[in-house]
Amino acid sequence: MIPIKVLVPSGVLGLGFDLEALKHGIKNNPDIISIDGGSTDSGPFSLGSGTSKYSRSAIKAEWKSLMIAREKANVPLVIGSCGTCGTNGMVDWMENITIELAEELDQHLKIAKLYCDQEKNYIKESYKLNKILSLNPAPKLNNTVIDEMTNIVALAGAEQIQECINTGADIILAGRTTDTAIISALPLMKGANPGSSWHGAKIAECGALCSTNPTSGVVMVEFDKAGFTVEPMSKNAFCTSETVAAHMLYENADPYILHEPGGYMDVTYSNYYNIDKKKVRVEGATWNSSKNYCVKLEGARVSGYQTSLLVLLRDNNYVKNIKKWTDKLSKFLKKEINKRMDIASSEYSLEFRHIGLNSILGELEKNLGNPVEVGVLCLITSKYKISTEIAKLINPFLLHFPLSSYEELPTFAFPFSPVHSDRGCVYEFTMNHILELDDPMDAFQIKISEI
């Protein structure tokens, strides 16, 4: 059955890809089309709220191209981490889009859904039984934290995707999955080299990011018993041994080791070389199975309600003394908030960031420069829904607060009306842990439907 060809249209659904390159990919007879649908890359909001980072219409337009391509190639189409966070709700959201498109395209399909949500009681029980282990660094976990989480997902690996492939489904909609598992699942199943199956998957998980033309998206990876070959499908993209090898560094804390459910891959002794000007051949990675089968967990909870205000200052005296101004203002406001609203400072956080000075790097910034204007971003985050009220109290002082008591009342620039922006709930990641399973399917469910 090998070699096995996996077509990866892009690093993530929603980012776009070159349609000509996709066509070229289909002509090259892939055995499966695999695309990632999510990541924690944008922060905890998606998982916390159980929503997609990308717009539904962008996802639908791209998914349409892939459903048409799949029908033409007559092979399975797999998406991992549906709707950015890969919760059950987002798998159903993706199914809904698929059903709409199947009607529009008059396609009849078998769909396998892989659910990865974790029930709180199951997580508490596993924690009690020491089946949950922390990675470094891990936030503190206990039953209260588990209760506070709005979503907990486990990252599926190759085994769970293989179960889905074995159902004979045309389309697989998977919840949270490791970026690599959707690519490595089929080659591993068909007897390709295990180390290289994971290595090739890692190289292709961001689509054409491993080539000279990242935005073209589409790459094909061919897996066999000794290694893999990667080739971008766009006319204007090339893989070189450097672009491919360099991708092992990308977003990886360790450039040689990648942990996956059931073990880890090691690329210390792998070799990369160009077969021609487009294709790169890679061999030498190894797969090391672990004694216990573990999957990674992700969770998020509400960290507060947030409201922001932005004021702009051009007055030279204030620009020069901006830190002094916000320190003084902060002290004053905390007193006023306590006095007028009866809210203790432990109930909220009040932060001022100086845009134009060091708003990105904070205390790490060494080059403070000499700006002509400064933006002050005021962030209020409260435990209860009081951040808007606090912002409204702050509003006039942000506009008029003087540096000294003997000067005329200054007025700064507000770029918006209203000046405050409610950011709603903000979330925080609460888990960097793994869960030990007796059987890979213990924390996952598959549902089949036909449309």
Partner 1 sequence: MSTLGEKVKKIRSKNAGPFWITIDVFCGDKKVYKDVCNKLKNSKISSLLMISEQDLKRFEIENLNVIKFSFPRKIIQGDILDRDMHGAQLAILLSEMKF
Beta-carbon contacts of 366 under 8 Å, excluding residues fewer than 6 positions away, are none
Residues of this chain, 139-198, that bind partner 1 according to CB under 8 A: 139
Q: In this chain, which stretch among 230-238, 254-262, 309-317, 414-422 interacts with partner 1, using CB under 8 A? A: 254-262
CB 271 within 8 A of CB 386: no
Closest to partner 1 by CB, 180 or 306: 306
Alpha-carbon Rg for the chain in angstroms: 26
Give the integer Cα–Cα distance in Å for 344 and 338: 6
> Can you tell me which of 366, 409, 415, 417 binds partner 1, judged by CB under 8 A?
366
3-state secondary structure labels for all residues of 120-169: HHHHHHHHHCCCEEECCCCCCCCHHHHHHEEEEEECECHHHHHHHHHCCC
Q: Is 359 in the site for partner 1 (CB under 8 A)?
A: yes
Site for partner 1 contains 121 (CB under 8 A): no
For 242-305, give the DSSP string.
HHHHHHTTTT-SSSSEEEETTEEEE-TT-EEEESSSS-EEEE--EEEE-SSEEEEEEEEEEEEE
**Is residue 201 within a helix (H) or strand (E), and if so which, with residue range?**
helix 194-204
Burial readout 345-380 (b: 16 or more C-beta within 10 A, e: otherwise): eebbebebbbebbbeeeeeeeeeeeebeebbbebbb
Smallest separation (angstroms) from partner 1 to the CB of 111: 30
Enclosing H/E stretch for 428: strand 420-429
Residue 414 contacts partner 1 per CB under 8 A: no
d(CA 127, CA 119): 12
Residue 304: CB minimum distance to partner 1, A: 7
Cα(211)–Cα(85) distance, integer angstroms? 27
> ω into residue 139 within 30 of 0, thus cis?
no
Of 2, 145, 189, 246, the one binding partner 1 by CB under 8 A: 246
Q: Does 228 bind partner 1 (CB under 8 A)?
A: no
Q: Which stretch binds partner 1 (CB under 8 A): 94-102, 244-252, 277-285, 333-341?
A: 244-252
The single-letter code of the amino acid at 99 is I
How near is the Cβ of 358 to partner 1 at its closest, in Å? 9
Q: Which C-beta is closer to partner 1: that of 1 or that of 361? A: 361
Query: Helix crossing, 19-27 with 56-73: angle to 10°?
Result: 20
- Please report how close the Cβ of residue 308 comes to partner 1 at its closest, in angstroms: 11
Q: Does 369 sit near partner 1 (CB under 8 A)? A: no
SS3 26: helix
| Closest CB 260 distance from partner 1, rounded Å | 13
Q: In angstroms, what is the minimal distance from the CB of 294 to partner 1? A: 16
- For residue 330, the minimal CB distance to partner 1 (Å) is 15
Is the CA virtual torsion 90, 91, 92, 97 positive or negative?
positive
The Cα–Cα gap between 169 and 147 comes to: 35
φ, ψ of residue 319 in degrees (nearest 5): -60, -45
**252 contacts partner 1 (rule: CB under 8 A):** yes
CB of 422 to partner 1, least distance (A): 15
SS3 52: coil
Q: Is residue 368 part of the contact set for partner 1 (CB under 8 A)?
A: no
Nearer to partner 1, 192 or 239 (CB): 239
Kindly state whether residue 360 participates in binding partner 1, applying the rule CB under 8 A: yes
* Pairwise CA distance, residues 44 & 426, whole Å: 8
Residue number, 412 or 429, with CB nearest to partner 1: 429
Complex with partner 1: residue 129 or 360, whichever CB lies closer = 360
Regarding 254 and contact with partner 1 (CB under 8 A), the answer is: yes
* Choices 64-72, 180-188, 286-294, 351-359 (CB under 8 A): range interacting with partner 1: 351-359
Check binding of 371 to partner 1 (CB under 8 A). no
Supply the minimum distance, in Å, between the C-beta of residue 382 and partner 1.
10
Tell whether omega for the bond before 137 is within 30 degrees of 0, i.e. cis. yes
The verdict on 398 binding partner 1 (CB under 8 A) reads no
What is the x/- site pattern for partner 1, positions 270-309, by CB under 8 A? ---------------------------------xx-x---
> What is the pattern of x (binds partner 1, CB under 8 A) and - over residues 187-226?
----------------------------------------
Q: Which of residues 33-52 bind partner 1 (CB under 8 A)?
A: 40-45
**CA 46 to chain CA centroid, nearest Å:** 8
Q: Which residues bind partner 1 (CB under 8 A)?
A: 40-45, 135-139, 242, 245-246, 249-256, 303-304, 306, 349, 351, 353, 359-364, 366-367, 379, 381, 426-429, 432
